[in-house]
Structure 1
Amino acid sequence: MALESQAGALSPVMVFALVGALGVGAQWLAWRLRMPAIVLMLLAGLAVGPGLGLFDPARDIGPLMGPMVAIAVAIILFEGGLTLNIHSLRGAAEGVWRLVLIGAPVGWLGSTLALHYAAGLEWSIAAVFGGIMIVTGPTVIAPLLRQARLTRRPAQLLQWEAIVNDPVGALAAVLAFEVVLVLNTSETAASAVWAMARGITIAIALGLAAGWGLSRVFRDGKVPEYMKVPVLFAVLLGVFALSDGVLHESGLLTVTVMGVYIANADLPSYAELRRFKEHATVLLVSGVFILLAASMNLEALALLDARAAIFVVVTILLVRPLTVLLSLIGTKLPLNERLLVAFTGPRGVVLVAVAGLFGERLVALGFEDAARLTPLAFALVAATVVLHGFSLRPMGQLLGLAGQGTPGVIITGGSQFATSLGRALQAIEVPVLISDPNRSRLRSAREAGLPTFFGDILSEAAEHGVEIMNFGRILAVSDNDAYNTLVATDLAPEFGRDNVFQLRRAKQEHARHALPASLGGRIILGDLGHYELAKRMTEGWSVRTTTLSETYDFDAWQADNPEAVILAELNSSGALTFITSETKPKWASGHSVIAVARGPADRASKRG
Structure 2
Amino acid sequence: MKQTGTLTVIISMAVGIFGQTLASHLKIPAIILLLFLGVSIGPDGLGLIDPSRLGNLLATIVGFAVAVILFEGGLQLEVRRLRRQATVIQRLIGSGAIITAVLASLTCYYIMGWEWQICLLFGTLVIVTGPTVVTPLLRRIKANRRLHTILEAEGVLIDPVGAIIAVAALDFVIGSQATDAFWDTMLFLISTLAFGFLAGVAGGFLIGYSLKLNKLIPRDLENMYTLALVILLFEVCNQVLHESGIMAVTVAGIIVGNMKLPATHRLLHFKEQLTIMLIGFLFVLLAADIRMVDVIALGWPGIGVVLSLIFIVRPINVLWSARGSRLSWNERLFMCWLAPRGIVAAAVASLFAFDLSRAEIGGGTEMRALVFLVIASTVVMQGLSAGPIASLLKVRRKSNWGYVIIGANQVSRVLAKILSFNKEDVVLVDSNSASFYEASEEGFRVIYGNALEESVLMRAGIDVRRSVIASTPNNDLNIMALKRTKDFDHNIRVCIATQRNSHVDEKVVKSMEARTLFGCRTDFNLWLHRISQGTAVVWKLRTEQGAKFKLSSDNIADGPNNDRSVLFLAAKPKGYWEPAFDGMEIGENQELFALVYTDLTEENVLDWLAEYKISRLEATKIDDLKLVSPESDH
Distance 1:96 1:190, change over 3 A: closer
Q: How many residues are matched?
A: 501
Does residue 1:305 correspond to 2:308, yes or no? no
Does residue 1:525 correspond to 2:510, yes or no? yes
The letter for the 1-side match of 2:202 is A
- CA deviation after TM superposition for structure 1 residue 436, in Å: 8.4
Does residue 1:173 correspond to 2:162, yes or no? no
Please list, as runs of the form range in 1=range in 2, the aligned pairs for 1:164-203 lying within 5 A after superposition.
164-184=157-177, 194-203=187-196
Most deviating of 385-394 and 366-375: 366-375
Give the distance between the partners of 2:229 and 2:196, measured in 1 at CA. Answer: 14
Residue of structure 2 in register with 1:113 after alignment: 106
- CA deviation after TM superposition for structure 1 residue 227, in Å: 2.0
Residue of structure 2 in register with 1:208 after alignment: 201
TM-score between both structures, scaled by the size of structure 1? 0.71
Residue of structure 2 in register with 1:394 after alignment: 388
Select the residue among 415, 429, 436 that pairs with 1:438: 415
Residue of structure 2 in register with 1:589 after alignment: none
Does residue 1:28 correspond to 2:21, yes or no? yes
Give the distance between the partners of 1:454 and 1:196, measured in 2 at CA. Answer: 41
Does residue 1:80 correspond to 2:73, yes or no? yes
User: What's the secondary structure of 1:89's corresponding residue?
Assistant: helix
Give the distance between the partners of 2:318 and 2:584, measured in 1 at CA. Answer: 57
Distance 1:455 1:162, change over 3 A: closer
Residue of structure 2 in register with 1:574 after alignment: none
- CA deviation after TM superposition for structure 1 residue 247, in Å: 3.8
User: What's the secondary structure of 1:329's corresponding residue?
Assistant: coil
Give the distance between the partners of 2:99 and 2:479, measured in 1 at CA. Answer: 45
The letter for the 2-side match of 1:482 is N
User: What's the secondary structure of 2:339's corresponding residue?
Assistant: coil
Give the distance between the partners of 1:454 and 1:403, measured in 2 at CA. Answer: 12
Output one character per residue of 1:192-237: Cα deviation in whole Å (capped at 9) or x when no partner. 5555454444322321221121222222233222222222111111
Residue of structure 2 in register with 1:270 after alignment: 264
- CA deviation after TM superposition for structure 1 residue 256, in Å: 0.8
Does residue 1:230 correspond to 2:224, yes or no? yes
Structure 2 stretches lacking a partner, 5+ long: 407-411, 430-438, 448-457, 522-549, 556-580, 586-634
Please list, as runs of the form range in 1=range in 2, the aligned pairs for 1:403-422 lying within 5 A after superposition.
403=397
Give the distance between the partners of 1:311 and 1:494, measured in 2 at CA. Answer: 48
Give the distance between the partners of 2:270 and 2:445, measured in 1 at CA. Answer: 23
Residue of structure 2 in register with 1:327 after alignment: 321
TM-score between both structures, scaled by the size of structure 2? 0.68
Output one character per residue of 1:117-150: Cα deviation in whole Å (capped at 9) or x when no partner. 1222221221122112110011211221222211
The letter for the 1-side match of 2:352 is F
Give the distance between the partners of 1:251 and 1:298, measured in 2 at CA. Answer: 32
Does residue 1:356 correspond to 2:350, yes or no? yes
The letter for the 1-side match of 2:319 is L
User: What's the secondary structure of 1:183's corresponding residue?
Assistant: coil
Output one character per residue of 1:346-405: Cα deviation in whole Å (capped at 9) or x when no partner. 001211221222233234444322321110010000001101111111111111112589
Residue of structure 2 in register with 1:420 after alignment: none
Select the residue among 156, 165, 177 that pairs with 1:163: 156
Q: CA RMSD in A?
A: 4.3
- Identity within the alignment, %: 28
- CA deviation after TM superposition for structure 1 residue 534, in Å: 5.1
Give the distance between the partners of 1:376 and 1:183, measured in 2 at CA. Answer: 23
The letter for the 2-side match of 1:182 is G
The letter for the 2-side match of 1:209 is A
Please list, as runs of the form range in 1=range in 2, the aligned pairs for 1:400-549 lying within 5 A after superposition.
400-403=394-397, 437-438=414-415, 457-458=428-429, 461=444, 471=463, 476=468, 480-482=472-474, 485=477, 524-526=509-511, 538=552
Select the residue among 126, 135, 143 that pairs with 1:142: 135
- CA deviation after TM superposition for structure 1 residue 80, in Å: 0.7
Given that 1:476 and 1:487 are in contact with CA atoms closer than 8 Å, whether structure 2 keeps it comes out as no
Give the distance between the partners of 1:179 and 1:323, measured in 2 at CA. Answer: 24
Distance 1:261 1:494, change over 3 A: farther
The letter for the 2-side match of 1:335 is W
Distance 1:598 1:82, change over 3 A: closer
- CA deviation after TM superposition for structure 1 residue 260, in Å: 1.5
Given that 1:149 and 1:470 are in contact with CA atoms closer than 8 Å, whether structure 2 keeps it comes out as no
Does residue 1:46 correspond to 2:39, yes or no? yes
Residue of structure 2 in register with 1:346 after alignment: 340
Residue of structure 1 in register with 2:619 after alignment: none
Distance 1:538 1:194, change over 3 A: closer
- CA deviation after TM superposition for structure 1 residue 325, in Å: 0.8
Select the residue among 115, 127, 150 that pairs with 1:122: 115
Given that 2:200 and 2:252 are in contact with CA atoms closer than 8 Å, whether structure 1 keeps it comes out as yes
- CA deviation after TM superposition for structure 1 residue 38, in Å: 2.3
Give the distance between the partners of 1:491 and 1:130, measured in 2 at CA. Answer: 51
Residue of structure 2 in register with 1:564 after alignment: none
Residue of structure 2 in register with 1:284 after alignment: 278
Residue of structure 2 in register with 1:220 after alignment: 213
Give the distance between the partners of 2:394 and 2:107, measured in 1 at CA. Answer: 32
Give the distance between the partners of 1:157 and 1:454, measured in 2 at CA. Answer: 18
Given that 1:229 and 1:273 are in contact with CA atoms closer than 8 Å, whether structure 2 keeps it comes out as yes
- CA deviation after TM superposition for structure 1 residue 252, in Å: 0.9
Given that 1:38 and 1:143 are in contact with CA atoms closer than 8 Å, whether structure 2 keeps it comes out as no
- CA deviation after TM superposition for structure 1 residue 60, in Å: 5.0
Given that 1:503 and 1:525 are in contact with CA atoms closer than 8 Å, whether structure 2 keeps it comes out as no
Does residue 1:133 correspond to 2:118, yes or no? no
Given that 1:75 and 1:281 are in contact with CA atoms closer than 8 Å, whether structure 2 keeps it comes out as yes
Distance 1:259 1:333, change over 3 A: same
